[in-house]
Structure 1
């Protein structure tokens, strides 16, 4: 490292001496060698107090982090709701912010806290509380950037700057991570504590010199460092030996703090912090965790090896272990990897380390060795399976555990309790699948309701892969549900966020269901919420929501929305018995009220546009089906009367015209005569009418396709239309004609084709379906290639 930095001038040296009253130890988050040297520094310095960079409003949770029953990875979850409008002066929903502060076994901060607990000395976080960090940060900067997975502990200043890019270029390395592993992780084992800290301070100080001061101010760094410096001074006044563990980038700022800005008064209810379980995949830098190191499982193994019998061989032993594990997994999956391949890979990793002037192979030598020796052939999509397996192994699947008595919201405890009750597997971060017989097993139905509750709260825990979808009215012929579920850190985070809504999942869902219903603006949204409540097993809440649903039915002037609401309410009425909800709420009465509102608007739909006509058609079919059931038979006359008024209007969309006439014919066959006259008007009228005939047939066949199957005269009229069309007109009508005939099943289309052939003197038996001759297929492909060449390439090529 000294040779690499020889061209740089360091204007100031950051002191480090174990004789000082205050010792500043620089770290990179989740660095195993940083943590290893830190343990040795603590043993040599014997501090009376340890201060750690971290928001100080979590100090009460340090005993949870250091409890022997707490198993990493764990995290602190910070949340702030800007009800006072301090972050944004704009009106609207208050801004809600959150971030994670993860701790792995090899995190230097956790090593420091655990060492303090083991020695019985005080330890404390010294940074500004999370909410105050936000207030000290400019919009869209630092912790106020719009990222899905915001992390308190960010290494962006060390890893993303022009200085670091130049270093990688000078060292001939591919990335900052490879640079860090070479000069700090693998080389750090051969350095004394003082030499390692000096090297850390040199790199971090030069990184800071190459960072504009305005960025530090906008990101809140300067305000945070001033506050931490004050906390250090206060501790130094009480203890004779104070060890400060902070990000290496901040050490110079802690020694040269600016003026601390005034601290705003914040209500305690505006911000909160909770401990939570975490996972290795969530801590992976390659999965979006900006301050993490890639492949945390690999570095966790290095940390374990550092505390084993051969600490100086930790890197070599870990690389060998992962090569063997990768080979074993590949053989289990059917890939031919031999022990000789593993031996060659290990030898190559060692030789690559020598070539790259590293004391031992690391993660990047491991990856290159697997690529060279385990990938057989080209590294295409089919050939990267060894790299995928290695990636999975080096990431790790461990899930943390909190000690009993940890401050966990009741909602999260209820979630854990139900998972245990339903025997759902939460160990590891693997994905699990479960099949539920929801109509025959009460327990399975209870699990399904639990899963639906987690979906409603957007926990990211479960996802239905198969089964009846009442919300979208699909696959309702299925009798089983297939779910996939997996616990991640985001699940606990979501439960913490929703904890204000209730102590149990049912209570939280009920509270938020009422809130969403109050905020709904359309009948369709309200009916969808009723379906979700039904699936979650809280359909009894419909009594409280019915009044709001009636308001939406009256106020909503969108016919498509009202029809969608009618479809959802029909679903609820139909499925009460199957889901064991009969008697929970009078859905038929609510459906009748929705039905009446739709009938009121139906005659006004004659001018529906092309974009919405199919929705209106489907709505009319639904209404017709509803009135076909005994419980709603008394509504059929009113519906038919509305259809009669509709078809008598002019203008009317031809597709809607055909659909309404087909439904009238289905109820009263005497309408056949009227339909014949309308068909003649479309087929034999003006050219403008004739061009609307395909849309009319599409609507008619959607509701009464049997007309074409049983009436030869009707078939002759359509045949006459097609025969008499000019080619230009036929091309214009073709898309809608194809749509019109798509309502017939293959057997029916064969029957129609035979009858049409007979109208032109051919026999139906002459029509055959068969495989395409290979020679004809090859000829067609050649024609396609020739046409493409002449369209896109030079002219003059010979005909095929």
Structure 2
């Protein structure tokens, strides 16, 4: 009889009903399904009795990282129905698509995210013709709320029109040729019995032509991973949250809970259930929903359905009616079901609950006999061995070897993104003397799927954590400051073999970085690990020493090349402070001579085109390294505070030790009139923030002494009024006095 091709939209109840009906009617010899062919020998795992949604998770792990992909399945996925119904009628069921780790999937992480053409010219024309907002609403209008009579013909016409004679992509051409080879082999093997082929609708027109054109009829070989790499597939629990287009899922149907009800109970019950679910969620959050509101919503939904030509209220009919009945104030953004993509933050509370009701909280569960990657057994064994299997609050002493082992284990879970391993206290850098950590450990619904997915990085926890850290280093857009954070995470994870590798990569990134603040952050982090972190075993590391040296040189080069104006930039000031600390505390590592560093600092301090904060920092750097120069405060109020911020950031202790500097500053500020002081005040406050409270009190005491006043210095630091507000008031009084004097209204004026 040949092949019957059923083109479907992924996760469509109507398509699932069609697949079920045709398989039951035809009782085919073969049922071929778009899915990863490398799972064919393990299809029995899919039929163990899981609670859906689940997904086939596939990965390819190689020298340059891991490629990950998911093929989600829920109760109303046509692919799932083809698998279960085909098995029930005795057909031989096979997946026929390339493995998810194949190069054809290199640019996607979801097998079923092949719907880019849905948003093309054809869909736009149809949306205009039917007066609907987007492809999802169009699909409901044409397919989901209509009866099943003629559905196969409607779907074929729709997908033929959508695909036309175009090629989706070169990668999809490879996939379609491979799937067509499976179809030809199945047709040849079936004799006079039918073959049912279930694929995404965009592939159907191409497969019909490819099979009709003829070719070989041997069963295709299953591709093997490239040499030097490892690929595998496992089942993972999935959730409605991950399936929903409103939260980022890019294929299939949005609003999975609504379509689950549509699949189970039909359109009328799905519409009524959606209204009740929204009302329940709003009432649970103390948002008023009256019986009259619900009656109005149901009535309007029925009216909208009739107006739009729907036999039963569709999803958007119900949602539009709910908005009309429950939202009385204006909306700041478009309703999410009228646009494409994820829901924007800040939506109306009622609309947020509508979307939540559409999504639902359904979470899949794997059958206990489901094979799992070796990483899970390794993690379970370590949990028991380290006494962490009971979960709860965990307190760790990092000076104790067992405590350090527990810390490394938990940090490995953290860098792999395993939900439920949360650190609430602990050291934040190599120079942080904290030797205790506090954790909260509990298994969430995402624990199991996250660990299965982490197995793509390695079979043991140290290997997986190391691979995940390397992936962060190689990731696009990873800033040089973030790379230093990766290095600190590597130390926390106790991944010893990673240190040299990461050090080399970070040193290479630092040598070409252009972000002065980011390079400074990398230098500060790395210097702290090199100097202090004996607990984590990084103190004195040669790999870290290379980063310290490279970063020191790069900060000086970038700072000297910075021109222009602008407010004080704290990250670049901290970068120069990190250079000061490196020269002081790592002289055996930093190859730049102290004299050369001082030379750069003095050039920065004296050039006219340097930002004020950098000029102050240059003077402070030179001063802190033993070469004080004359302090020349900027003449303009706008630059004064920024200059002092740089000076204080680099030479706070030296400033406190020199009474002459504070005297000069006192005179300079005292010479400012009210308007000038108001201009300088915000930057001055930022500058003095570099002094801790005790040192600010010492400065206040010195200023009182200069004036011969006997008052509490501490009281000057505890004003009840915002200083900026007080300065603005004083400036206003001065302007008022000037105006009165000009008009001869001030007492004592002639």
Output the TM-score relative to the length of structure 2: 0.71
Question: What is the alpha-carbon distance in structure 2 between the residues aligned to residue 453 and residue 696 of structure 1?
Answer: 43
- Aligned: 1:114 with 2:114: no
- Aligned: 1:213 with 2:160: no
Offset, 1:595: 11
Q: Deviations over 1:422-454 (max 9, x none)?
A: 5699xxxxxxxx865444999998776445214
Residue number in structure 2 paired with 1:788: none
Q: 2:523–2:575: 8 Å Cα contact kept in structure 1?
A: no
Q: Deviations over 1:335-354 (max 9, x none)?
A: 12223322322222222222
Give 1:567's match in structure 2, choosing from 528, 544, 547: 528
Residue number in structure 1 paired with 2:111: 151
Question: What is the alpha-carbon distance in structure 2 between the residues aligned to residue 98 and residue 774 of structure 1?
Answer: 54
Offset, 1:731: 12
Q: 2:7–2:200: 8 Å Cα contact kept in structure 1?
A: yes
Structure having the higher Rg: 1
Mapping of 1:642-721 within 5 angstroms?
A: 651=602, 654=605, 655=617, 658-659=620-621, 661=623, 678=628, 681-683=630-632, 701-702=648-649, 705=652, 713-720=660-667
What is the aligned-residue RMSD (CA, Å)? 5.6
Question: What is the alpha-carbon distance in structure 1 between the residues aligned to residue 263 and residue 709 of structure 2?
Answer: 83
Counterparts in 2 of 1:649 and 1:304: CA distance versus 1, 3 Å: closer
Offset, 1:58: 2.6
Give 1:506's match in structure 2, choosing from 447, 462, 465: 462
Question: What is the alpha-carbon distance in structure 2 between the residues aligned to residue 444 and residue 348 of structure 1?
Answer: 63
Unaligned 5+ runs, structure 1:
1-19, 84-92, 135-142, 306-313, 426-433, 628-634, 665-674, 784-800
Mapping of 1:7-406 within 5 angstroms?
A: 20=1, 22-68=3-49, 70-79=50-59, 98-129=68-99, 134=104, 143=105, 146-147=107-108, 149-152=109-112, 154-157=114-117, 159-188=118-147, 191-192=148-149, 195-208=150-163, 211-215=164-168, 219-220=172-173, 223-224=177-178, 226-237=180-191, 240-257=193-210, 267-269=224-226, 272-277=231-236, 278-305=238-265, 314-380=266-332, 384-406=348-370
Counterparts in 2 of 1:650 and 1:261: CA distance versus 1, 3 Å: same
Question: What is the alpha-carbon distance in structure 2 between the residues aligned to residue 392 and residue 444 of structure 1?
Answer: 42
Counterparts in 2 of 1:761 and 1:486: CA distance versus 1, 3 Å: farther
Question: What is the alpha-carbon distance in structure 2 between the residues aligned to residue 252 and residue 555 of structure 1?
Answer: 48
Residue number in structure 2 paired with 1:310: none
Offset, 1:97: 5.1
Q: Deviations over 1:564-619 (max 9, x none)?
A: 4321233423xx2xxxx6xxx4x5554999599979999x9799738666424345
Offset, 1:358: 0.9
Question: What is the alpha-carbon distance in structure 1 between the residues aligned to residue 310 and residue 506 of structure 2?
Answer: 70
Counterparts in 2 of 1:330 and 1:452: CA distance versus 1, 3 Å: same
Residue number in structure 1 paired with 2:690: 743
Q: 2:397–2:436: 8 Å Cα contact kept in structure 1?
A: no
- Secondary structure of the residue aligned to 1:256 is helix
Offset, 1:112: 1.5
- Secondary structure of the residue aligned to 1:243 is strand
Q: 1:101–1:151: 8 Å Cα contact kept in structure 2?
A: yes
Question: What is the alpha-carbon distance in structure 2 between the residues aligned to residue 555 and residue 251 of structure 1?
Answer: 47
Question: What is the alpha-carbon distance in structure 1 between the residues aligned to residue 316 and residue 470 of structure 2?
Answer: 53
Q: Deviations over 1:742-762 (max 9, x none)?
A: 333567557646754775799
- Secondary structure of the residue aligned to 1:771 is coil
Offset, 1:275: 3.0
Question: What is the alpha-carbon distance in structure 2 between the residues aligned to residue 771 and residue 369 of structure 1?
Answer: 52
Counterparts in 2 of 1:770 and 1:562: CA distance versus 1, 3 Å: closer
Question: What is the alpha-carbon distance in structure 2 between the residues aligned to residue 593 and residue 183 of structure 1?
Answer: 62
Q: Deviations over 1:188-231 (max 9, x none)?
A: 2xx44xx22222223223333xx343547674175246424413
Counterparts in 2 of 1:663 and 1:359: CA distance versus 1, 3 Å: same
Counterparts in 2 of 1:715 and 1:113: CA distance versus 1, 3 Å: closer
Q: Deviations over 1:690-729 (max 9, x none)?
A: x999999666644764666676555334445566899999
Question: What is the alpha-carbon distance in structure 1 between the residues aligned to residue 249 and residue 11 of structure 2?
Answer: 12
Q: Deviations over 1:649-668 (max 9, x none)?
A: 9956554554564576xxxx
Question: What is the alpha-carbon distance in structure 1 between the residues aligned to residue 509 and residue 12 of structure 2?
Answer: 60
Q: 2:393–2:440: 8 Å Cα contact kept in structure 1?
A: yes
- Secondary structure of the residue aligned to 1:123 is strand
Offset, 1:105: 0.7
Question: What is the alpha-carbon distance in structure 2 between the residues aligned to residue 320 and residue 778 of structure 1?
Answer: 61
Question: What is the alpha-carbon distance in structure 1 between the residues aligned to residue 32 and residue 327 of structure 2?
Answer: 48
Question: How many residues are paired up?
Answer: 672
Output the TM-score relative to the length of structure 1: 0.67
- Secondary structure of the residue aligned to 1:359 is coil
Counterparts in 2 of 1:780 and 1:492: CA distance versus 1, 3 Å: farther
